Structure 1
Amino acid sequence: MSTEAAGQGDDAVHEDAKPRRVRADAQRNTDALLEAALAVFAVSGVDAPVREIAEKAGVGIGTVYRHFPQRSDLVVAVFRHEVDACADAAPALASAYGPGEALARWMRRYAAFIGTKRGLATALHSGNPVFETLPAYFQQRLEPALRGLLEAAAAAGQARSDVSAEDLLGAVASLCMHAYRQGPEHARRMVDLLVDGLRHGASPSGTAPG
């Protein structure tokens, strides 16, 4: 290969690296914005000043609007990001812990998500059509995640088998929405009691209790 050709090859590598670096920087900015928005929404609601979110994320206001032109875009992105993180925790916990412990840890993780979701509640129930698909997204991602953990725990005799994932999602959500008024520790304690109830009714064979 000639020196000129080699030089052209090096230029191509450098040009190739630049877009990847830009994409990585953009992803870091997006992640930082989502984390900052979640924290701000939880305290100040979804109508909090954009400047507050930008400052917390360490970016300029222009960066916020470049990624999320409308406030509703940011709210939707935060909700989906948190749902995805909660759903993705299920297989990670299943590979790291036994069935009963994985289920208990995921339910605590889900309870924490419900606590952060309270900051988004006003927007989600505002009637804005932008948010209409979010409840279905919630069910589509979280119900299978919990179902897998619940079935594994029931098969191992570490959870009762006559409870559906859909019912359990609703039960934890209802419990936490009230319990969080007394603080996150109280909500976690209530969820732990619910988990104890699931264990108490478990059958070693995984069959439904009589």
Structure 2
Amino acid sequence: MAEEGKPLRADARLNQDRLLEAAARAFAREGVGASLKAVAKDAGVGIGTLYRRFPTRETLVEATYRNEVARLCGSVPDLLETTDPADALRIWMDRFVAFMAAKHGMADTLKAVLTADGDLRMRTRDLLTDALETLLSAGIAKGVLRRDVDANDVLMGLGGVTLIAGEPGQEALASRLLNLLVDGLRYQSP
């Protein structure tokens, strides 16, 4: 990884981004045991570039996890700019379920990473809760979502959906459960 505080060159940043995207796909598809050579090939770089950026499989898993969380949470402003808040929330929930499926592919190694850096788990939860709070606040401001909902409760509900229907082939069930969750969040006039 880049030296602390030293910015990456544009080409190195592009390679790193490609590697993280390729790793996320591979880990979601094959688990953490996915071939690193295949990850490098998918990213369009050599295996040496992968190891220069990520010297161990664990550093690649952690960086992929951090990147996916950042992408998921960073998508909120664009969603709210282009979509009704309730629809933006539903789209974000689909992305969350996909994120969790990828996370399950990294489960064993990620567990070791999260155990070694307990702060990473709390930062992740805080980022996800903040993203949900932003979505919920936008919906409340537009009068389309209930005021009495806590972002942590919604996050727990999403976690439950991913436990029940977060595996490949369960997309239809996950979609129905997410629709129920969003319908429960909609504002109903008395």
Shift of residue 75, structure 1, vs aligned partner? 0.7
Shift of residue 85, structure 1, vs aligned partner? 0.6
Give the counterpart letter for 2:181 in structure 1. L
Tell me the alpha carbon deviations over residues 65-101 of structure 1, each in whole angstroms, 9 at most, x when there is no partner.
Answer: 1001121111111001110111111111111122222
Distance 1:130 1:29, change over 3 A: farther
Matched, 1:149 2:156: no
Mapping for residues 48-63 of structure 1, pairs under 5 Å: 48-63=34-49
| Count of aligned positions | 183
How far apart are the structure 1 equivalents of 2:171 and 2:164? 11
For normalisation by structure 1, the TM-score amounts to 0.78
Mapping for residues 1-150 of structure 1, pairs under 5 Å: 23-126=9-112, 129-150=115-136
Matched, 1:189 2:156: no
How far apart are the structure 1 equivalents of 2:113 and 2:133? 30
- Is the 2:88–2:135 contact (alpha carbons within 8 Å) kept by the matching residues of 1? yes
- Is the 1:38–1:116 contact (alpha carbons within 8 Å) kept by the matching residues of 2? yes
> Counterpart in 2 of 1:159?
145
Deviation larger for 47-56 or 142-151: 47-56
For normalisation by structure 2, the TM-score amounts to 0.86
RMSD: 2.2
Give the counterpart letter for 1:101 in structure 2. D
Matched, 1:172 2:140: no
- Is the 1:114–1:177 contact (alpha carbons within 8 Å) kept by the matching residues of 2? no
The unaligned stretches of length 5 or more in structure 2 are 1-6
Give the counterpart letter for 2:22 in structure 1. A
- Is the 1:100–1:158 contact (alpha carbons within 8 Å) kept by the matching residues of 2? yes
How far apart are the structure 2 equivalents of 1:118 and 1:190? 19
> Counterpart in 1 of 2:3?
none
The unaligned stretches of length 5 or more in structure 1 are 1-19
Identity over aligned pairs, percent:
41
How far apart are the structure 1 equivalents of 2:119 and 2:61? 13
Distance 1:38 1:105, change over 3 A: same
Larger radius of gyration: 1
- Is the 1:29–1:59 contact (alpha carbons within 8 Å) kept by the matching residues of 2? yes
- Is the 2:114–2:121 contact (alpha carbons within 8 Å) kept by the matching residues of 1? no
How far apart are the structure 1 equivalents of 2:50 and 2:117? 20
- Is the 2:29–2:102 contact (alpha carbons within 8 Å) kept by the matching residues of 1? no
How far apart are the structure 2 equivalents of 1:151 and 1:189? 24
How far apart are the structure 1 equivalents of 2:155 and 2:141? 19
How far apart are the structure 2 equivalents of 1:154 and 1:128? 34
Shift of residue 148, structure 1, vs aligned partner? 1.4
Shift of residue 203, structure 1, vs aligned partner? 4.5
